[in-house]
A and B are shown apart, each in its own frame.
Chain A
C-alpha cells in the first residue's frame, strides 16, 4: 500500500490503562475486553488521510509494567509520535505520568509529538482524575490532551489523527528533516518531501489541548 508518509507511534503508560484496547479500537474499530496482556511490544498499523495525503501509522504498543522499562526505552528510538495513556479511574496511573514523560524526553527525539490520553472516560462514575487536572498537566508539559474511551470509541480516532496532523504540520513547518528516518518519519512513494534541515522550528511544538 502506498503512502506519502509513514509515522511511527509509540503507546506508553502504566499497565492496564488500556493501551492495547486503544490500539485495537483504532486499527480494527472494535473493543475486545478479553485480550492477552502485552509482553514486550505489539504492532498495529492503519492508513489515514491528512491534507489529502495517505499516511500510514505504524503503532508500537508497549508493555506497561515498571520492570520492563529498560527494554521499552529501546522502542522510543525513531518515534514521531507518542500516546501517553492514563486511566481516569486510577489515580496512580496519572501520578506516574511524570516518570513516563521523563523516559520519553530522554530516549525519544526532542521533536516527538506527545498526546496525553485520559482513557476510560466512559467510566465517569468511577472517575479519580478530573478533566481539568489532565488539561493542566498537558499544558504544563506541552502535550496535546484528550479524554477518550477505547470501549465506546469516543475520541479514539480523533486522538490518533490529531497527533498525526500535528506531526504533519511540523513537517510542513520544516521542523523535521524527513530524509533522516530517526525522526520516525519515512517518506513513501508519491510522498512529497517537506523542507529539509529545518531544525530551527523546534519551538513550534504543539502545546494546545483539546477535550
Chain B
C-alpha cells in the first residue's frame, strides 16, 4: 500500500544539491550501473562515489576521503569504502593516515547486515549518512563532499528492500519486511552483537545470519545457548532504556574522535576512558581478515575433529563414587582444545575436562567467558577480541544511560528508584570481600568497578534491579576479568541463569529449595524424613548455599573452582543441588544423631563454612548425579534455576508479538 511512497525519494532534500554539484562520478555511476546490472554472476560495481569522507577529528586537515562503492554479487549487495592514499603530507601524518585508513576501511559489508541508513542534510555543511548494522553497530558518518546521497539510496533501493521509517522520515530501513518500528527496535537488541561477531563467515561477509547460526547449533549442547539468547531478548523487551537507545546509539556513531571533545563532558563521571576501545569498534578489518582465513580453513578443521564416543556411555562403568579430581587445566593442554584460529574444537570435551579439574587461574578470563556464554565456543581469537571491543562500547552505552539525566517523567520516576539502588549498592560494595587484597583498603579502584558494574546491571535489567547477594556473584567475575565491560557482560550472562535467585517474591529460590527437597528425598529418604519430622522441610538452611552458589562456604579460590565446574553444566545444569545433597549426606549421621532441630541445624550448616572439602564433595555430587540419573532430572521441575526460565516464555512471547 505504501509502495508508491516507498519508492519515491523525490522529497529527498539533498536531491537538488546532488544535481547542482552533479559531479562526473555521479554520471559515471549511472552508466556503470546501466551497463552491467544485467549480468547474473560476478561482482559488479553499481555505484561509485568519490570524495566520501569521514571525520576522525574536528580538524578539516585530518578528514579521510575515500571512495564509496556498492557492489553487486549474485543477488547480494555489498558496500565498500576505501580511503585514498595520502599524498602530500609529512611522515608523521602519513603514518597516522595509514593507521586511520586501516581503522576505518570497510571491505564488502553485505546489506543483509545493514539495518538502517539515516540521512542527514544539515542546512549548513555537507550531507552525511549514518549506516547502522543489524548488530546495532554503526559506522562513522560518511560525508558526501560531491553530493550523491540520493543516488546512493536510490541505487540501494534497486537491489534491496528499502523503506522509509514511519517514525522518522530521515531513516531508511533495509530489508524490513515487518513493522519498520519493530525492526528499528530489534536492531538494538544487544545480544545480536554475538551473531555478528561469532557467526561463521562466507568469504565476503562479516557474519552470518543468526538463524543459520542457530540451526547449526541446534543439535548439540549449544541449543541451550540459543534459548539463552532468546531469553535475553525477551528480557530486553521490557527494557525501559530501549526507547531512547536508538537515539543514543546513533549519537555513538557520531562520537568518533571528531565529536569526542564536544561530548566528553557527558562522561566526566570517570567513564570516558572507554572511548579508547570505542574507537576500535571501527577496526573490524583485522577481524575480517581472520574470518577470511577461518572460513578457508573451516572444512579442514572439521575433518580434524576426532569422533568422540559418548562420554557417559564409557564413563558409567568407572564411576562409582566419582572420579578422582584432576589438576586444573593448564595453558598447554588448553591449547590442544583450540584450532589455530582459537575456536574450541570440541566444547563437550572441554567442559568435561573443566568439570573434572577446573582451570588454572591465568586461563580463567578467557575460559569463563566461554563457559558463561559471553563468547561462543566456535569463536576465534579475533572474534573474541572484536566482541570485547564492541561490548566495551555497549557497556559505556549503559553508563551513558545511567547518566542520561532523565528525559521523560517516566524516566524521572525510574531515576528516583535508581538512586535508591545506588545507595544500596554503595553500601554493599564496601562490604564485599574486603579482606581480599584485590578489594581491600580505602579508595580501592576495584571497589569502584564493583559498584559501577552492579549499578550498570541494575539499570540494564531494571525490573530485577539490585539485590543483596549480587555483589558476591560479581566479585569473583571482576577479580578474574579485571575489566569493567567484560565483567559486566559476563555477569549479564550469569544472571540469565541466576537472576531468578533475586526475584522479589523469592520464587527462584523457592523453586530450587523445592527441587532440592525432591532430590534429597530421592537420594537420602531417611534424612529427608528426618527433616520432615523436625519441621525442616523448607530446606531454608541451604538458602545461602543456593543464593550465591556456595560463595560464603569456601575460600575464594575454591569458590572460583566450584563455579567453573558448575558452569560447565556437564552431567547436569543443577549440579549445585547435588552438591547440597552431598554435603547434607556427609553430615547426616551428625544431624540425625544429635537430633538437630531447625535452629540447631541452621546454625550447624552456617558453621560448616570453611570446613567443606571441595574436591571430596564434588566427587560425591558427581556420583549422586549419576546415581540419580533420569530420576534425578525428573525431580527437578523445568525452569528451576539455573535453567533458563521457561514458564515466563509464553508471557514474553506475547509481549514480543505486541512490541516486535
Q: Determine the distance from Cα of A16 to Cα of B431 in the docked complex, in whole angstroms.
A: 10
Which among A36, A43, A58, A66 has the greatest number of chain B C-beta atoms within 10 A?
Answer: A36
A42 nearest CB neighbor, chain B only? B606
Question: B542 → chain A, closest Cβ, in Å?
Answer: 10
In the complex the two chains form, is A41's CB within 8 Å of B606's CB?
A: yes
Of residues 35 to 62 in A, which have CB atoms within 8 Å of B's CB atoms?
35-37, 39-43, 58
Tell me, rounded to whole Å, the shortest Cβ–Cβ distance linking A37 to chain B. 4
Q: Does A11 contact B (CB under 8 A)?
A: no
A78 and B601 CA atoms in complex are apart in Å by: 14
Contacting chain A: which of B63-71, B176-184, B367-375, B465-473?
B465-473
Closest residue of chain A to B604 (Cβ to Cβ) is: A43
Give per-residue flags for A74-104: 1 if the beta carbon is below 8 A from chain B beta carbons, else 0. 1101100000000000000000000000000
B430 touches A34 (CB 8 A): yes
User: Closest chain A residue to B434 by CB distance?
Assistant: A34
Stretch at the interface among B482-490, B544-552, B627-635: B544-552
CB distance from A166 to the nearest CB of B (A): 21
* B299 on the A face (CB < 8 A): no
A78 touching B599 in the complex, CB below 8 Å, given contacts A36-B432, A39-B469: yes
User: Would you call A15 and B504 a contact (CB within 8 A)?
Assistant: no
For chain A, the count of residues having a C-beta within 8 Å of the partner chain is 24
Q: Contact: A74 with B540, CB < 8 Å?
A: yes
Question: Which chain A residues border B598 with CB–CB below 8 Å?
Answer: 74, 77
Task: Pick from A8, A39, A43, A67: contact of B504, CB below 8 A.
Answer: A67
Contact B434 A40 (CB under 8 A): no
Contact B424 A37 (CB under 8 A): no
In this complex, the interface size class of chain B, counting residues with CB under 8 Å from chain A, is 20 to 34
Is B433 located at the chain interface by the 8 A CB criterion? yes
CA distance A65 to B469 in the complex (A): 10
- A35 near B431 (CB under 8 angstroms)? yes
Task: Decide if A71 is an interface residue (CB 8 Å cutoff).
Answer: yes
Tell me if A8 and B599 are in contact (CB < 8 A): yes
> Which chain B residue has the least Cβ–Cβ distance from A8?
B599
CA distance A42 to B543 in the complex (A): 12
Is the C-beta of B607 less than 8 angstroms from some C-beta in chain A? yes
CB closest chain-A residue, reference B467: A67
- Could you pull out 29 A-B pairs where Cβ atoms are within 8 angstroms? A8-B599, A15-B428, A16-B424, A34-B440, A36-B433, A36-B434, A36-B552, A37-B427, A37-B428, A37-B431, A37-B432, A37-B471, A39-B469, A39-B548, A40-B547, A40-B606, A42-B606, A58-B603, A65-B468, A67-B468, A67-B503, A67-B506, A70-B505, A71-B506, A71-B509, A71-B540, A74-B538, A75-B602, A77-B598
Q: 4 more A-B contacts (CB under 8 A) besides A37-B428, A39-B548, A39-B552? A: A37-B432, A39-B469, A65-B467, A71-B540
